[in-house]
Structure 1
């Protein structure tokens, strides 16, 4: 973490000015109070910044006589240090020093008088004596009538022929949270939290990029929108990533908008990785038996009986339980038809066989395909085979396929350059997912328990997928 530098300039006996040049924020004025000296106010200010940073703060302390260099720790201890870089010499002219008039501090408490303020009576205006009336008659000339306030001679009863002003010019501008909301991350976010400020994030900061991604996630989707996770190699992270991406999408699009569907073979770990496991009867077999795919008047409440709501708002439906056969092509298409009527987006987790009927349907029905690839040679080779199979099944979806390189403890760095070059040669974008201990542990996955780096990467991946889906329709 970069050490924060605070420049404190004593401007008078009771005031000081604090500047944070590294944070690019406006200066802050500090002032002594009746019960606290200026040095105590400055020390408390510096300690609060160090606590918010959870690290030492380097301080340049300027007075009218000299400059000191201090280091303030989060526990409030301050010690002198040597300057890390030379500082420019600022010379004050005698005229400027003499012109400064510093008022002495108040010796005691300020007492406000409680007696009512008496106002002096305002004298009556003196009127001029009235003149004697004239005996001779005077002619009074009436003023000419004004034409500005006259009504037209005949009422206007015909249609309005002139264009009306545009009403949208009178409406208030739209609020843009991405630009107006105070920063919550980084140095500015910590300053807002500690000092109660409302500093906006920088335009090129990570927080602004994440806010832009969140806005893109909320865009309107095409009918039957679907994202499929595929890789013919097992153990590459398809299941945890599909569950997490569905939760990240529902976090921004709202509950009951995204469903994650298990299309894997029997023996998969989907039901063991979701945060809220399904109850009896919440699987694809029960859903297909309880709802006719051709029926268009099925209420959403009936469909929800076969789904399991997850903490962030997405729904899941597991595959066959205790059945040896996988889903047929017709059954998979029926599931997509039923869920597509009641949900905005479907995320599917496929198995490891590209010959499976459900795998073939998922590739043909998907708008976007995501291929997780750990930095292992066998996983990279399997990803290339998956891309070749996708190109044979549905060539156009290859342009909307994203490869996600996942970091892990068993990575082989020499594989990354070769894999990225191979995927880029096919015109497939490559993203990166940081190592997530919860993914590797095999435990149940809750979005709130993921590392912040993983959560941010899922947000960017979700925005990328939405962009590809909307771009395909456009």
Structure 2
């Protein structure tokens, strides 16, 4: 008997769905749940009720929006549920993938079978399931929190026609290490189906890319690994990027492995953007004094008074609000040498003074330099001039230098293609990445990984993977 086709459209909140029988005059049905799992349970309870009422298999096509490919499952009157590889042939063409058109598979060859909770007796044992051809999901649902504007993707090796990092094979962190983690999906539509129904749908390409990036971040780094975030233009997001990157790196490397260091000018916003405040007497200047007074014989317990642990596991070393004191080149170098004995990775926030010794140290000695550049004509122009001077200060030129295009209020995307082309080809920057718009960055609130939107965390994870790869690359030694 022909299966009953039902299309289920889930709205952006993930808490409401509309179910419509495609063959027949039945009105649409509104389904709701307190969370994603509850909604998916309501969807399958509705499908099972339809299957029992009609005595036929119900074919569900679940659509969570334009950025997520539909998921198709079949629900039998006995409450068996199985995923299928193809859609409703009488209503839609077979889905295409990166390898061409997906092959059709009879409904009698499910890719997985589970049970929906209920009173019906279990069905006869099924034969071993056959795995359906995997389709590439271009992108999974990201964060369900409301946002004032849509996040923009992150990109590597910028191209006006391809600006997403992680969705293309050459841009994914998996290609950096040659490992593509697999396993059941934990996020997006596939993750919700797995959680609600006990399925084992494979993670999407995008989710696999994030997992690969996480694996890369957790890998080894060289001694005295330093990442500097610089720009001579103020208000471009150096501090938010520094703290957010340190937070995300510590999330995957573990507590006590990453330190964010304030080498900015006095009265900057670094101390205002951390969750757990540091004591004003235990900052960069105090640590330098301790280093001098002890002859460098500093223990981990002594250092713990100066490093303040944040919720994500990173430590921060705040600066000093003293306009009469300025850290020089040697001061910054001594701090980095000391901290590197106790932490794997230093993420250094800098100020705007290009002539300051600490700024010059951050440019000349860091293996990786990140330059946040909002899409504003004046900022791009300043960055281009600064990049030329950076190349002359670094022993390996622009190797390890990455431009991070940030998306914020007042940006002008229309200038992007031409300006970025100048950065990548004219100025010799090899890697250009994009950070999505992040409300916490723009609001001035304290920053920790848990406070950031999922697209931002994913972008930071992929950025972190590129940082680790650059740190361990042959040109950054």
Whether contact under 8 Å (2:247, 2:313) holds in the other structure is yes
Tell me how far apart the structure 2 counterparts of residues 38 and 469 of structure 1 sit (CA, whole Å): 57
CA 1:288–1:388 in 2, change beyond 3 Å: closer, same or farther? same
What are the equivalent positions in structure 2 for 1:184-195 lying under 5 Å apart? 184-195=186-197
Give the number of the structure with larger relative contact order, counting CA–CA contacts within 8 Å between residues 6 or more apart.
2
In the aligned structure 1, how far is the partner of 2:56 from the partner of 2:402? 52
Q: Could you tell me how far apart the structure 1 residues matched to 2:121 and 2:459 are?
A: 57
CA–CA separation in structure 1 for the residues paired with 2:229 and 2:405: 13
In the aligned structure 1, how far is the partner of 2:186 from the partner of 2:364? 42
Q: Deviations over 1:409-453 (max 9, x none)?
A: 312122211221111113311100011111011111121111111
* Structure 2 CA distance for aligned equivalents of residues 198 and 244 of structure 1: 32
CA drift of 1:407 comes to 1.1
1:52 and 1:190 in contact (8 A); partners too = no
Distance change in 2, residues 1:305/1:45 (3 Å): farther
User: Partners of 2:296 and 2:71 in 1: how far apart?
Assistant: 67
Partner of 1:363 in structure 2? Answer: 363
**4+ aligned runs moved over 4 Å, structure 1:** 1-6, 35-38, 40-53, 57-63, 81-84, 293-297
Larger Rg: 1
Change (3 A) 1:375 1:195: same
| SS of match in other structure, 1:435 | coil
Residue in structure 2 matched with residue 226 of structure 1 by the alignment: 226
TM-score, length-normalised on structure 2? 0.64
Query: Is residue 369–residue 397 contact of structure 1 (8 Å, CA) maintained in 2?
Result: no
2:428 equivalent to 1:427: yes
Counterpart selection for 2:457 from 455, 458, 467 = 455
What's 1:273 paired with? 273
Distance 1:41 1:299 in 2: 74
Q: Is the contact between residue 59 and residue 73 of structure 2 (CA under 8 Å) also seen in structure 1?
A: no
Q: Residue 334 of structure 1: CA displacement?
A: 1.1
Is 1:391 aligned to residue 391 of structure 2? yes
Alignment CA distance shift 1:84-1:180 (3 Å): closer
For 1:62 and 1:256, the matched residues in 2 are separated by 49
RMSD: 4.0
Distance 1:217 1:60 in 2: 36
Structure 1 residues 83 and 389, CA gap change in structure 2 (3 angstroms): same
The CA distance in 2 between the partners of 1:44 and 1:342, in whole Å, is: 61
Aligned mates of 2:60, 2:8 — CA distance in 1: 17
Question: Aligned partners of 1:438 and 1:233: how far apart in 2?
Answer: 21
**Unmatched 5+ residue regions in structure 2?**
1-6, 11-17, 22-44, 77-87, 95-103, 105-119, 123-177
Residue 37 of structure 1 and its aligned partner are, at CA, apart by 9.7
CA distance in structure 2 between the aligned counterparts of 1:398 and 1:2, rounded to whole angstroms: 51
Aligned length: 343
Offset, 1:179: 3.8
- Classify 1:263/1:39 alpha carbon distance in 2 versus 1 (closer, same or farther; 3 Å): same
In structure 1, the partner of 2:167 is none
Asked if 1 retains the 8 angstrom alpha-carbon contact of 2:9 and 2:65, the reply is: no
Distance 1:418 1:44, change over 3 A: same
Task: Give the structure 2 partner of residue 408 of structure 1.
Answer: 408
Given that 1:293 and 1:338 are in contact with CA atoms closer than 8 Å, whether structure 2 keeps it comes out as: no
